């Protein structure tokens, strides 16, 4: 009878110690996960802070620069070469004949 009591006591102690070990291990895992999550959040926060600082510095640098507005305007220049005749009268006659021949071919109906 004493051996039964001893066996029951051993089984109960084994179950209890297993439950306690599981509780400690689960707590350890949760603590480990919490620490990893906290360190990752801290690293992300630091990175975002550095990027915000860099952006602010760049924006201040751009604000300090002077910007010039460039406007383009077209001007027509009268050059002496354009006001002179470059083609002689014979060349003009050839161009007129070519124009008439091309118009005739274009207007010709099949």
**pTM for the whole structure:** 0.40
**For residue 72, is it within any domain?**
no
**For residue 70, is it within any domain?**
no
**For residue 71, is it within any domain?**
no
Q: How far apart are CA 16 and CA 2, in angstroms?
A: 21
Q: Could you list the residue range(s) of the whole structural domain that residue 39 is in?
A: 2-64+79-107
**For residue 42, is it within any domain?**
yes
| 43 DSSP assignment | H
**Domains contained in the chain, number:** 1
**For residue 73, is it within any domain?**
no
Provide the H-helix boundaries in the chain: 2-64, 80-83, 89-107
Buried b (16+ CB within 10 A) or exposed e, 14-37: eeeeeeeeeeeeeeeeeeeeeeee
In tens digits, what is the pLDDT along the chain, a chain of 110 residues?
678 888 888 888 888 888 888 888 888 888 888 888 999 999 999 999 999 999 999 999 888 887 777 777 777 766 665 556 667 788 888 889 999 998 888 887 65
**For residue 34, is it within any domain?**
yes
């Amino acid at each position: 009878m004493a051996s039964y009591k001893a066996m029951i006591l051993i089984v109960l102690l084994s179950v209890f110690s297993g439950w306690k070990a599981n509780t400690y291990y689960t707590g350890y895992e949760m603590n480990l996960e919490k620490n990893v999550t906290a360190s990752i959040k801290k690293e992300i926060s630091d990175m975002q802070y550095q990027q915000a600082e860099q952006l602010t510095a760049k924006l201040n640098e751009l604000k300090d620069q002077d910007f010039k507005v460039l406007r383009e305007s077209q001007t027509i220049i009268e050059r002496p070469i354009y006001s002179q005749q470059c083609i002689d009268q014979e060349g003009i006659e050839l161009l007129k004949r070519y124009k008439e021949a091309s118009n005739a071919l274009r207007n010709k109906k099949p």
